[in-house]
Amino acid sequence: MGKKKTTKKFAVMKRMIGLNDIRIKEKDRSKPQKKIKIDPSKLKEREVPKYPSCLFFQYNTQLGPPYHILVDTNFINFSIKSKLDMVQSMMDCLYAKCIPCITDCVMAEIEKLGMKFRVALRIAKDPRFERLPCTHKGTYADDCLVQRVTQHKCYIVATVDRDLKRRIRKIPGVPVMYISNYRYSIERMPDDYGAPRV
C-alpha cells in the first residue's frame, strides 16, 4: 500500500469567541463605546508656533551693520587652508563692518583638536573676535549655534558643514556664510544690505 496523499491546509486559524458571544458572562463583555459628537459651532483651538517680530516674511529686520557672525570650527580651519584673513574677507563679502563671534562650545571644540590645530586656536583667541559665553550643558557646537540662532535672529552663521547648513536653512531669516572658490559667499541675505550675488 502507498502513502495517503494529503494536502496541507494553509492559513488555518483557531476559532476565537466573539466578545458578544452568549457564552461570555455579562460582566466580562466589552462595553459599547459611545461616539462623542463634535459641536460644529464650537471654536477650534490649534497651536501655532510663535514667530519673532523681527521677521517680515523671510526678511529679517534685525540684520544690519555691524554684522555679528557666529563662526564654526570647520570655518576657521577652511579659512586657514584657503589662506584667508577672516575679518578682512568677511568685510569684503558684506561691504560693512563685521564682528566675528565665537561661543565657548566652538572654543572647546578647537582646544580638543590638539596641537595640529594650534593656528586655528590662535586665530580664535584674536581680540577682534567677540567671545559669547554658553550656559547650557555639554560642548556640542552645532546644537549650541542652532539654539543661539533660534533664540536671537541677529546673527549670521559662518560654516562649511553640510549638516549644520541644512539645519540652519530650516530657521527663517538666518543667513549662512560659507567658502567657495577661495572667497567667502553668503546665502539668504536680503539684497538691500549689499550682499554680493553668487
Q: Does 179 reside within a domain?
A: yes
Q: What is the domain count for the chain?
A: 1
Q: What is the pLDDT of residue 49?
A: 72
Task: Note down the domain range covering 157.
Answer: 68-189
Residue 132 falls inside a structural domain: yes
> Which CATH number does the domain housing residue 137 bear?
3.40.50.1010
**pLDDT of the residue at 91:** 92
Q: Is residue 84 assigned to a domain?
A: yes
CA–CA–CA angle 114, 115, 119 (5° rounding): 105
pLDDT in tens, the chain (198 residues): 567 777 666 666 667 777 777 777 777 766 667 777 777 787 777 877 777 777 777 678 888 889 999 999 999 999 999 999 999 999 999 889 999 999 999 999 999 999 999 999 999 999 999 999 998 888 889 999 999 999 888 999 999 999 999 999 999 889 999 999 899 999 888 765 545 555
What's the confidence (pLDDT) of residue 198? 53
In a domain, 50, yes or no: no
For residue 147, being part of any structural domain is answered with yes
Listed in sequence order, the residues at least 6 apart from 52 whose beta carbon sits closer than 8 Å to its beta carbon are: 153, 173
User: Does residue 57 belong to any structural domain of this protein?
Assistant: no
Look up residue 182 and give its three cell numbers: 577661495
User: Do the domain assignments include residue 32?
Assistant: no
**Strand positions, DSSP E, the chain:** 55-56, 59-60, 67-71, 98-103, 130-132, 155-158, 176-180, 183-187
Residue 21 domain flag: no
pLDDT at residue number 1: 59
pTM of the model: 0.71
Select from 4, 78, 62 the least CA-distant residue to 189: 62
